[in-house]
Structure 1
Amino acid sequence: MPSIKVALSKPFAKYIAKKIKKWSSKPIETQHKVFKNLIAEAKQTAFGKDHNFSSISSFKDFQNNVPVRDYEELKPYVERVVAGEEDVLWKGKPIYFAKTSGTTSGAKYIPITKESMPTHVNAARNAILLYIHETGNAKFVDGKMIFLQGSPILDEKNGIKLGRLSGIVAHYVPKYLQKNRMPSLKTNCIEDWETKVDAIVEETINEDMSIISGIPSWVQMYFEKLIEKSGKSVGDLFKNFNLFIFGGVNYEPYRAKFENLIGRKVDSIELYPASEGFFAFQDKQDEKGMLLQLDSGIFYEFIEAEHFFEDNPKRITIADVKLSVNYVMIISTTAGLWAYNIGDTVQFTSLKPYRVIVSGRIKHFISAFGEHVIGKEVEQALREATENTSISVNEFTVAPQINPEEGLPYHEWLIEFENEPENEAQLIEGLEASLKQQNSYYLDLIDGKVLRPLKITKIKKDGFQSYMKSIGKLGGQNKIPRLSNDRKIADSLYQFNLTK
């Protein structure tokens, strides 16, 4: 007999699906409404006055008045908000700052307003509801759910609460899910990640877990500790665990390892949340990409990544995007971010409706020799090269080796294997073939003897976790870049090198 929660979830899921279909089937009109509302609401702010919002009536006007900025360039305005000033980037004051540890800017304070906060919560909820509507599976709402996240303890700065986004969102879990939610508040407040995961294992090992959610690399750590303590696979331990929700990184490099740890396949939902906004979520189990949230107070612009570093690169709206092109995503939001470069690159997998995949970071690429290799390409290469093999990879990153002791330069792949390749040369051959097929620049550099084929450096078991711990970034929302254009990470990982 299904519970009341299960019974009510299906008509609610149908209602939400209908609402989403309504705006997703009128994407240009939806974005136009969002744009007009943003400009109207912010006319009297300091930013709006500085950028002539009162005279903006078209996208072209907006482009002419508002340049693309990253956090550093928007920082003078943000600092005024942090100092307690009102009506700076958005009307009034934000209700939170999502504090992030930027790699170039130190601590970043991303405003969250009363208008933007609901979109973070509703998007995650809607992703689950669309899954229920599509599959008819709602039994999991009666089981226990765990969301591996940052501490919900919030600090305060000039009357505005601040913390990590996942910690802020933890305060908005609907009441009807509170009873099912794990871990306990006490455990969730533990700051040290390893201590926290150990406590989560103790709390959950005898529970009926049905949904597990988090960044794959940190969920993997939780799974391994569960198996170590129980001697059972995760699937045997949690018989009703059938839905994994993840975001932050591509799941594909982890999929084979996860299926091995769980002992069976489980459905998954991919999310695309960030402190700056909740941009997309997977709306169909059998479609590639995530549905772009066009009705969430976010106006999107796109710049082709290939031209991003040119003077005045062309900014376009969703009306002009094309499939499979690598775009830098630019956002303007109800949190008061204007023509803001969040640093992510995306590619469209569908235009009816608009679906995207995250292809990487505009700062995370390798182009030491003009090859323009991006995150999506190295992840796809690893997936293709290890398909139908026993090779299993825990973690990896790629960096250029510009000045080798001998021979031509090359790309170095630092890989922590779960199951090592029997034939490393064959793996390298597979990686090379995939990269050459995906990236003509890389092919030309190899064929032109500017680069030699890649090299693999094996990293010890848990080496990546040890590295993240050594830089104070173990757990939470922290993740290893898939590739870098310098050797900072690669050289630091050498202390965890198996082949030294």
Structure 2
Amino acid sequence: MSLVTYFARLLFQFREKSIQKFIKNPIEYQKDILLELINQGGTSEYGKRYEIDNIKTYEQFNKQVPVVNYEDFFPQIEKTLRGNKNIIWPGKFKWFAKSSGTTNDKSKFIPVSNDSLKKNHLKAGRDLLSVYLSNYKKSNLFDGLALALGGSKQLASYKNNKDVFTGDISAILLKNLPLWVKMLRTPSIDVALMPDWEKKLSLMAKITSNQNITSLSGVPTWTIVLIKEVLKITGKKNILEVWPNLELFIHGAVSFVPYENLFKELIPSKKMRYLETYNASEGFIAFQDNPDIKGMMLLTNHGIFYEFEDVYTKGICDLSKVKINKEYALLMTTFSGLWRYRIGDTIKFLSIEPYRILITGRTKHFINAFGEELIVENSDMAISNTCKLLSMSFYNYSAAPIFITGEKRGAHEWIIELENLPDNKKEFSKTLDKELRKVNSDYDAKRFKDIALKEPKTHFVGEGFFDFWLKTKKRLGGQNKVPRLSNNRKHIDDMLKYIKQFQ
């Protein structure tokens, strides 16, 4: 063990007792956070409007304060963006995380206060490393560098307001990281935040191919592209020939299930560990505390008060009332002035001792044109199983309904990007259909004898298709993601214009 790793262990060791406390007493910590949010945020303009400072219980909070979407809340955020103070939280905001847009605008601007940075984002990052080092006593994580593949939206002033900066949450975090963390990461901030993703990946590959990389963090799709670029430059067969001390990949943003086999090919080591995180612009919500256990541990003492909205009944409860395997839309109240805010994700609980969650999809990303209620969790699992059965690897996909017209029955239409195009396309389509029927009983019922749904219509495209499509929309890189499921044909009809050159 090097001196760096030894001192890192000492630094993180003090957090272990605190982590165990919130794991054992999550409800009490949630109550304390709610009261703290009420006491601090109640003095804001928004707080006074709903008399938040008079609230004493969760029941009052539930009745008095409205549930909001981004579109509902944007007028308050816009005032804050313009430099007004005490609108949604005491004081002014310097930072706004810029993330993928809504129906009203190209981008969302999520306020990020210094309180949230301290109590949530940075604290959760420390705790993730504390848990990891506690689990793996022989880890040499800090003997090398952490390669972080973040976003590309550099910090810029908002409409010439020099006191307000917008950009990717990763850019905001880079500006606020402790010095010792900056010293242990790569590449430089200038390279990490380059706006041109193609140039950035190429430069990152050149820089890091000669460094001792012990951990990776980022979105699986972009990490695969980076690893392949490093292999191309070095001429090596797998990444362990370049980074022999690589031991950890911290991933998030999309499900890892479909990419697992491909990562095992690129990193052929039984000692390699994979940890999932749920780290959004709005807050660091959960992380996988044990790679052998499915699901992520909900962070109940990290500056967020959670509520859970039943996807079907729309009933809302706090953490004490949640049920295992029930699907909820996640609501958050934070130290950045977000009040009962629908983040747009759906989750379910896999356990309650401790509270472990699984992201099941987006509130707007699903197909339910025929009552099949297909969510991203289903489609990810089905396509992953299909690829395993047929010994194939895929990069991405997008699916949407083919609506019933006249006597023509409905179906789902898929565009699937594979590492290699299948020799037997019909076999792939039939296998995918079977796997979808296995994971979703409603889909299975609608497929019975083709009464409501026909077999999926599939298009297969080569590597790079979805990156090309995102580029045509000026959305390549960062937090921009391919819409995997859509309940309308807006995206897929546009994608179909470009598929011939990738077939």
Instruction: Tell me the TM-score normalized by structure 2.
Output: 0.94
**Distance across 2 between alignment mates of 1:443 and 1:138:** 46
Q: Does 1:281 align with 2:287?
A: yes
Q: Deviations over 1:250-300 (max 9, x none)?
A: 111111112222333521111111111110111112111111111111111
Distance 1:415 1:404, change over 3 A: farther
**Distance across 2 between alignment mates of 1:177 and 1:78:** 31
Q: Does 1:231 align with 2:212?
A: no
The CA deviation at 1:243 is: 0.8
Aligned residue in 2 for 1:297: 303
Distance 1:321 1:430, change over 3 A: farther
The CA deviation at 1:208 is: 1.3
Q: Does 1:456 align with 2:462?
A: no
Aligned residue in 1 for 2:223: 219
Q: Does 1:357 align with 2:363?
A: no
Distance 1:303 1:152, change over 3 A: closer
Q: What secondary structure does 1:306 align onto?
A: coil
| Corresponding residue to 2:265 among 257, 260, 265 | 260
Distance 1:64 1:186, change over 3 A: closer
Task: Answer whether contact 1:150 1:476 (CA < 8 A) is retained.
Answer: yes
Q: Does 1:203 align with 2:202?
A: no
**Distance across 1 between alignment mates of 2:298 and 2:420:** 36
Aligned residue in 1 for 2:8: 9
Amino acid aligned to 2:463 = K
**Distance across 2 between alignment mates of 1:301 and 1:17:** 26
Instruction: Tell me the TM-score normalized by structure 1.
Output: 0.94
Aligned residue in 2 for 1:430: 431
Aligned residue in 1 for 2:484: 482
Aligned residue in 2 for 1:194: 198
The CA deviation at 1:439 is: 2.2
Q: What secondary structure does 2:336 align onto?
A: coil
Aligned residue in 1 for 2:253: 248
> Once structures 1 and 2 are overlaid, which stretch shifts more, 27-36 or 11-20?
11-20
Aligned residue in 1 for 2:410: 409
Q: What secondary structure does 1:19 align onto?
A: helix
Q: Does 1:167 align with 2:168?
A: no
Q: Does 1:108 align with 2:108?
A: yes
Q: Deviations over 1:53-94 (max 9, x none)?
A: 133111121121112111110112112111221111111112
Task: Answer whether contact 2:112 2:336 (CA < 8 A) is retained.
Answer: yes
Gap regions ≥5 residues in structure 2: none
Aligned residue in 2 for 1:310: none
The CA deviation at 1:325 is: 1.4
Q: Does 1:130 align with 2:125?
A: no
Tell me how many residue pairs correspond in the alignment: 494
The CA deviation at 1:403 is: 5.0
How much identity, in percent, do the aligned residues show?
34
Q: Deviations over 1:411-460 (max 9, x none)?
A: 11211111344544443333323322332221221116111121221123
Q: 1:44-59, aligned counterparts within 5 Å?
A: 44-59=43-58
Task: Answer whether contact 2:332 2:341 (CA < 8 A) is retained.
Answer: yes
Distance 1:261 1:406, change over 3 A: farther
The CA deviation at 1:27 is: 1.1
**Distance across 2 between alignment mates of 1:461 and 1:80:** 43
The CA deviation at 1:155 is: 1.7
Q: Does 1:346 align with 2:347?
A: yes
Amino acid aligned to 1:274 = A
Q: What secondary structure does 1:327 align onto?
A: strand
Amino acid aligned to 1:293 = L
The CA deviation at 1:405 is: 10
Q: What secondary structure does 1:115 align onto?
A: helix
Q: What secondary structure does 1:23 align onto?
A: helix
Q: What secondary structure does 1:129 align onto?
A: helix
> Once structures 1 and 2 are overlaid, which stretch shifts more, 385-394 or 463-472?
385-394
